[in-house]
Structures are given as structure tokens and as C-alpha cells.
Structure 1
């Protein structure tokens, strides 16, 4: 079976494969990882209790805190002499989460990354400009191995050095771009400043964008700026890195179900939600050896769909990640995600998709400000035009998100640009309390 054919596996065959792999994973986790044995025993469940895929919900959840509590290698299911790669998160909010890979795990990762890239039919004819960060972050090396497996030429550009990246993309004739959506937009912005014609000077035909939530408006802005197919790539290091899911030509984010089982739960109760309802994504790995993850709570908010996709793939699909549960702002009782604010902004003419949300406290009430860069063309208009634009943005945020936010229009290129994941929220509430 070819890599692409795996996405079109008959449903019954896929379910049987999932159950077999789930039972093997649960058995290994229980006997090889003391943490899981203790969790299973406390939940009153044994590996032999998993007789169907529906029995998955009997198993306890795993969280990021569990990984931190067992830092660095306490959740590994293999001895260190079988581990050939170690990655970790940045650890900006405490101990980093550490992940390990056996040779088998590396082969699985390469496979799912190749399947991700096949969403845009990447082949040996392509030159892949990889601007994801290399190092402990999984993005750079994940895309690198997947592209090489398909025979494509890889330019390991990594992050930063925007003008140099543009020179390499043009001179080397890159056909595929891999980076965060915010960096793709930044590249387009700088290319225009440098006098490049984005459609004539570059040969890009598709891009693979992930590592941060992106609103439909931002995705559209990136695709139209470069004139390319936008492929969303989803993953997280705790599961494998990028390569958990990727979007087809119809925008459906397909999960590679023969390696990962997705569920959507109510983040408050932990109950599994029916298909079509929004909740927190939970993922169980089926083929990981070094670090099996049982019902890992991703904190990512999405909706799961099992109805057939127009592309013909039989594997389940999820909607684009709305945001992370821990990125959700609660402002005076109203829940709002940065990507929702971004979507409203990108629908209003006269501003760019570059923005920052500043949350402060005034007495007992939360105060929200949205700083947005105006389009260069607006600078020649009068003060009255800018005031109307500011008022329109405030009205749109209120009408669509039910939040009273003060919009502050700032000059182009005022807000800090990110070479990786964009920082969209500045929360000052604790400082002012």
C-alpha cells in the first residue's frame, strides 16, 4: 500500500488495525511505564478490558503536567539505549516536556510527514524551503525528514534572517514553503518592501503552515499574498511533532488515524462529546514505542467530523484549531480566542493582519485593547477616515464576539514581528491587581 493509499483505507480495515494497535499500546504502556500502571490501577482498568475502540473512554487521561512531573525520561517505555532522538518544548512555563524516539518512531514520524506533504503532491521535482526552527523544536527536522523521504530537495533555512530567506527562495527556485503562518505573512511583507514581485520572482506553488492557530482570514491572506495552495499542518511534540493531521484541498484537517486516535471531550467534565460538537482534542498514539501517549489532553479546541470528505479520504477530519484552552481569554465573563479577534480584523479593509491583544484591569472589570496596524495606503487619508475605521473595528468586535474592546490603530511595522510562533496576547491583569 502506497503512502497516499493509507489515507483511503476501507473503514472496516482501518478500525480493525486501530483496535489491534490500541490493544498493543495499552499493554506496553501498562507493563513498561510505572506511571501508566498506577493510573490504570487507580481507574480500575486493565489492558484486557480494551475489547473495542469504544472502550478507549475507560482509560485515564494524560496531561502535560504528567510529563513535567516525570521529567526528563520518566514516561519512556524503552531503555535509553533504544532512544535515537530527543526533543523538548521550550519550557517557558516551567520544566520543558521531553519526548524521545526509537528508530521505529523516527520511521513513523517520517511517514506521517511525507503524507502531510503529499497533501500538495510534493515530489522529487520540488525544492522545499524549510523555515521552521531546527533544534529541540520538532518543526524543522519533522518537515526535513518528510520532504527528503519523498525525494524533494530541502533547503534547511530555519528561522530568522528574513531578507536572506527571500534571496534563497528566489535564487534556489523554491516551490514549497514551510513555516508558521505569521512568518509567511512577514516574508510577504518584507518581499514587497524589497521590491520583489511575489508572483513573478518566486516559483512557490504551495505552503505548509502550522505551530500556531490561524483564522480563516489569515490563511486567506497568506494564500493570496503568495498565490499558493495553503496546507495546514497540525501536530504537537508530545504526540510526535508535526504530522498528526494535515488539510486536503477542501480544507479538511485529516488525522492520520492509523497512528493516532482523536477524541473531542468537554474540557470541564472530561466526557466524550458527540461528533460535530466543539471541545478539547484528546489524542492516543497507536504506534509510538519510546513515549506512548494514552488519551493525551492537547488543550486544543476543535470539532471532529466522520462524514466523508469531498477529497475521498476515509480518515477522520477535524476543523482548524480554534485556539488553545489555556489561550482562551475570559473578559468580563465572555470567552474569546485570539484567532476569533484575528478573523474579525482580517475582514475589515484598511488594516493588516498584524495585531496584539492587551488585557488590563480597571477596578473589578477587565479592559481589552486591540492594537492593529493600519494599511500603508490609509496613512494618506485624514484623521476622520482613521477614526471611522477605528469605530468600525470596535463595532465588528462587539457584533461578532460580544466584547467591548478599545481599538488602537498603530502605524505599519510598529508591532513586533515573530520569526516563529506569533505572540498575540499581553495580559497585564495580574500586574494591575
Structure 2
């Protein structure tokens, strides 16, 4: 509804200007352009952040000043009504792009909650946030992990001993392992974002800065079902990367400078002396693809504008895998690719393709390097990816802020609002 209101108010503002200045051949086109620029820049300012928000705010202010100068010839009423419609459109757009709070079922406190704590994950995040003490205060049993601990065996033992809710404070690889145990026994799972990137927590709608607050999910909470991904019997909560991207995410510098690391590594990884990876799969049109330089298979689709930024998933219950393939002509495309990656416009590259599928098979002649939720592995092909719809019961704190807002590029904002108004925000 908010998206529809934003679009209707935008159309009404244009209509008011058109009606008031129809007989003014110079003021009319300038005012129409000023309204359009004010709308686009205003939307970007309200849903953007950082330097993008500041630049968009400046552009919107300049464009609105031009609108006042030209539309003012039609009278103050025209200016006032147009300004009110523009403001209403902006507020509605902010609501449309705001954090989405997924629906779920209210549940009571865990009877026997168990939290596994990886004390080394995230540079010692568990210790910095006093997770063991905070969990104990909430009546949750804490199991610290030591080097060479068999986490799966510990999780299975906790379930056998009567745990009805199990959780993990650690990175996404550990999250996937404990989530798989919860899935197999159909008990609830709690994600505590104590890793480095915490992409799963972000897309669940948790506040990654309030690490201890995630423990409130062991109390009265909201429970919902989300999908999981699977490859060769191994569950993943985020994604599996193959090809060049698998090498980028395994770089030590990637953790602290994602976009810069990706842009810096791409020229070497895609240089003329590098042979394309041996990755054979079926493309979105059903035709066989002989290779891809980057292949990313995710648990639901990402809004992906940059390999370095990775992006977010508007939903985790779509019942599909997200597939991203990138094919590069090494002789011509690398400078363009690096430039688009640097400005977060990778999806504009001509060799970039995204689609969804419930199953994907990848063939190769030999064992293939992959990154499964950031963990470097070598798997023997064929690699068969599948989605496990509604496989995991996740508990979230009632105060969780929700899934991060959509942040489309400025020129794509009207299209994004149309998709939201039609009930397809992830399109």
C-alpha cells in the first residue's frame, strides 16, 4: 500500500504541474523535469545511507528550488500542492522500502534451551558481548566450543538430552551445521550473530550490533519457518560460491574490505593467462552453459549489485535457490567489470545473469573448489544443489528490527516500487 501511495502521489504531482503550466511552453518542461528529479533524488535520500544519502539530498534540494522558481509562475497554490504531494510520496516510499517484519507465530519460552558458543568466532565476539553470562541469566545452558570440537555430535547430544531449542553464537558455517541438526529433529533454532559477516542474521532481520539481544529468542519469541539450501547432503544457510568468487571470499583482506578486495583481485583472476573454470550447468533458458567465471548458488535470491558487498535477501522463504552467473571475455571485459564492481553496479554488466531454480546441477572434470557459507572446501562433482523449503523453525526476538530495506539504484526506484505494490518485492 505504501508503494502504491508513493507512485500515486508522484503521478498526481506531475499532473498538477502539467495542468497548471500547460500554456507555458518554457516553464512546463523544466518543471516536469524538476518534479521527476526531485522525486527520484528524494526517494534515494530517504532510503539510502552515507554519502549516497547526502548527495541525493543535495540533488533533491537543488531540483526542488528549480521547481519553485518555474512552477511559482502558476501561483503559490500550485507550488504548495506539488510540494505536499512530493513530501507524501517520499514518506510513503520510505515506508515501502522500510524494514520488513516477517510474520510468524508467538511462542512461549524454551523449556530447555542450549546455546553453543564459538569463543574464537568474530575475533572473540562472544567474550566481548558476555554471551555466556547473558545466556546463563536467561536460563539457557551454555556449551563452549574448543578447538577440534565435533559440533554436530554436541548438538545431537543436546537434542537427545531433551533440548527443545538449540542455538549457536558463531559464524555462518557453524549456524548451518546446528540449523541442520535442528531441521532433522524439527526443533526450534536460535541464531546469535557472533561471527564475522553474519549474513544469515542480517537476512533474518536481527540487529547484528545487539549480539546479546539475540538471546531473547530463547524467551517469548516469534517463530517462523525459513528455507535452507543443500549441496551433496551438506546444508547451507547463505550461499555456495564457485569459480573466481570462491577465491575472492577466501582472501584474508576480504573480511575488512569486501568491495576493495573484489575490485583489486578481479584483474588478476580474470587475466588473459587464466583459463575459465570448468563449471557446466543449465542456464535460465534451459540451455547448457559450458562455463562461468563466477557461479553463486544461494538459499533464496540476493539483490546483488557487487561481489564485494554481496547484497541482501528480501526473503528466506521463497522456496527457491538463487543463481548468479558471471561470464567475462578476458580480452575486453575486465576494465568494464572492475569499474562496475567498484561503483556497485555489477548487475549492469552484460555477462551478468540471475535467476531462480529449485534444483541446479553443476558438472566438472575434477574436484572443485567451493566456498560453502564462507568455508573453503573441495567437492567431487556432480554438485547437485536443492532448496529445502520451510525446513527450519527459527525463533526471533520480538524486538528484532526486521529485514533490511531494499536499496535500489536511483533509476530503478520506480520499477522497484511497482514490484512492491504488486506484491513482488524481491523481483
Higher RCO, 1 vs 2 (CA within 8 Å, ≥6 residues apart): 2
* Structure having the higher Rg: 2
The structure with the greater share of residues assigned to helix is 2
